[in-house]
């Protein structure tokens, strides 16, 4: 690899890493806040909360990576122009392809990262996230016990808590149990906490009293305690097997779903669309790289304004990705539109290459022609194979 290529790739990688981290962090924060109450209601620590919500990170990377690539290349190419490096390359007789090659090498790297996330890590993380959410939703305290309300868990057993703190403690606890045929029990405690030990779920109450009142005639007896454990194991509902959506299934499962899978039998169109979406999404990395280079890869003097070119490249990339989202939304059961998922990014690649060649007024290098030919053949083979497998699975 030449010095110029290493220089450009190094700068692009640094800008991409910083942009990807910032954009993914912002998107992750907005998604994590949606699960904050559900997860912390079980009394889990902030570390556990972060580890659960981080399962969605690979999926977010797939969405954000093309835009992070776009921003990083805009910054790098703009810097090369501002420092007159593009002008020096042009003045020494070098063509734009000297800069295009490292740009495309870096774009292929991001393409591989996005493809691995899209095909394997993203569905794996979303599937584990679905299982964790299903487990938390089966928790008694997360769904039944609500602060300030009297909740009947089952016939003869009523809970009331004044407040539930962020660390999982239950303040002002009242538990009324009349399930025994002869005696009614009323538990009062300053605090309580759910603890899982020895395959049992216990409500450990601190500093309280137990009132025992015979249902027939008799005196009420009161017992004070510093710590008392109430068994909740028989009250915890069994967590049912979660139903995985199309985005939460592995690529292998999408290609060959279980014949007895109810969701797959009811929504075969969603599985097909998700499968083709996973294979087509990484292509936007290549398209964005070429679009940005088509607008900003040409040497300009310091007197020429590059703001219009920057704005045009951003608008072109956003318009292309919006078209892709629109195709995904309208595909539905119409399997003939699935090829449009590949057509949109491929059209962006071809148009950008055409603009680059037209602006350069010279024939396309052989390595670009061979790369485009290989990419077109690969897309055709993948689309034909997936369409054949989808048709066979549906029948």
Tens digit of each residue's pLDDT (9 = 90 or more) over 91-112:
776 667 888 889 999 999 999 9
* Number of structural domains in the chain: 2
The answer to whether residue 302 scores a pLDDT higher than 70 is no
pTM of the model: 0.69
| Domain co-membership, 313 together with 223 | no
| Domain co-membership, 114 together with 175 | no
| Domain co-membership, 367 together with 249 | yes
Higher pLDDT, 37 or 122: 122
| Domain co-membership, 198 together with 301 | no
Give SS3 for 207. strand
φ and ψ at residue 196, rounded to 5 degrees: -105, 120
Nearest to 388 by CA among 337, 343, 335, 333: 335
| Domain co-membership, 200 together with 103 | no
| Domain co-membership, 383 together with 325 | yes
Return all residues near 301 (Cβ < 8 A) that are at least 6 apart.
Answer: 87
| Domain co-membership, 348 together with 390 | yes
Rounded distance between C-alpha atoms, residue 142 and residue 213, angstroms: 30
* Strand partners of residue 222: 211
Average pLDDT of every residue of the chain: 81
Range name among 25-34, 87-96, 282-291 with the lowest pLDDT average: 87-96
**Domain endpoint, select from 200, 218, 235:** 235
Region 3-19: what's the mean pLDDT? Answer: 91
| Domain co-membership, 258 together with 388 | yes
Q: How many CA atoms lie within 13 A of 340 on its CB side?
A: 17
Region 52-73: what's the mean pLDDT? Answer: 92
**Domain endpoint, select from 186, 217, 235:** 235
**Domain endpoint, select from 235, 263, 291:** 235
Query: For 315-359, what is each residue's pLDDT tens digit?
Result: 999 999 999 988 888 876 566 778 889 999 999 999 998 888 876
| Domain co-membership, 193 together with 302 | no
| Domain co-membership, 22 together with 56 | yes
User: Burial code of 184-210, b = ≥16 C-beta within 10 A, e = fewer?
Assistant: bbbbbbebbbbeeeeeebbbbbeebeb
| Domain co-membership, 160 together with 103 | no
Q: How many CA atoms lie within 13 A of 115 on its CB side?
A: 11
Alpha-carbon distance values, 94 to 148, 304, 313 (Å): 74, 20, 24
| Domain co-membership, 31 together with 86 | yes
Residue range(s) defining the domain that contains residue 351: 3-138+243-394
Give SS3 for 227. strand
């Amino acid at each position: 690899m030449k010095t110029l290529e290493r220089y450009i790739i190094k700068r692009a990688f640094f800008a991409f890493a910083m942009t990807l981290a910032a954009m993914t962090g912002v998107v992750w924060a907005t998604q994590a806040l949606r699960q904050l109450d559900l997860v912390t209601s079980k009394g889990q620590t902030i570390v556990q909360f972060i580890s659960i919500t981080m399962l969605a990170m690979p999926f977010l990377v797939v969405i954000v990576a093309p835009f992070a690539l776009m921003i990083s290349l805009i910054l790098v190419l703009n810097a090369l122009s501002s420092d007159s490096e593009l002008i020096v390359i042009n003045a020494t007789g070098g063509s734009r392809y000297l800069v295009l090659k490292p740009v495309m090498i870096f774009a292929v790297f991001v393409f591989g990262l996005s493809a691995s996330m899209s095909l394997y890590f993203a569905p794996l993380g979303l599937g584990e996230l679905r299982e964790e959410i299903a487990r938390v939703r089966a928790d008694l305290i997360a769904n039944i016990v609500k602060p300030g309300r009297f909740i009947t868990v089952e016939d003869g057993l009523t809970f009331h808590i004044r407040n539930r703190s962020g660390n999982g403690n239950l303040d002002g606890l009242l538990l009324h149990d009349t399930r025994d045929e002869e005696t009614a029990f009323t538990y009062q405690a300053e605090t309580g906490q759910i603890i899982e030990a020895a395959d049992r779920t216990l409500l450990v109450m601190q500093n309280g009293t137990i009132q025992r009142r015979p249902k027939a005639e008799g005196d009420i007896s009161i017992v004070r305690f510093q710590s008392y454990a109430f068994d909740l194991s028989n009250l915890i509902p069994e967590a049912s097997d979660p139903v995985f959506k199309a985005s939460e299934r592995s690529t292998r499962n999408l290609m060959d779903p279980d014949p007895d899978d109810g969701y797959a039998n009811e929504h075969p169109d969603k599985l097909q669309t998700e499968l083709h979406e996973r294979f087509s999404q990484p292509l936007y990395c290549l398209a964005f790289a070429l679009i940005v280079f088509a607008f900003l890869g040409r040497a300009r003097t310091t007197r020429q304004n590059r703001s219009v070119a920057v704005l045009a490249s951003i608008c072109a990339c956003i318009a292309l990705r919006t078209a892709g989202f629109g195709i995904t939304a309208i595909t539905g059961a119409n399997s003939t539109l699935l090829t449009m998922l590949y057509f949109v990014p491929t059209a962006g690649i071809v148009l950008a290459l055409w603009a680059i060649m037209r602006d350069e007024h010279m024939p396309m290098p052989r390595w670009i022609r061979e790369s485009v030919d290989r990419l077109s053949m690969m897309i055709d083979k993948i689309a034909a194979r997936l369409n054949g497998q989808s048709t066979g699975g549906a029948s």
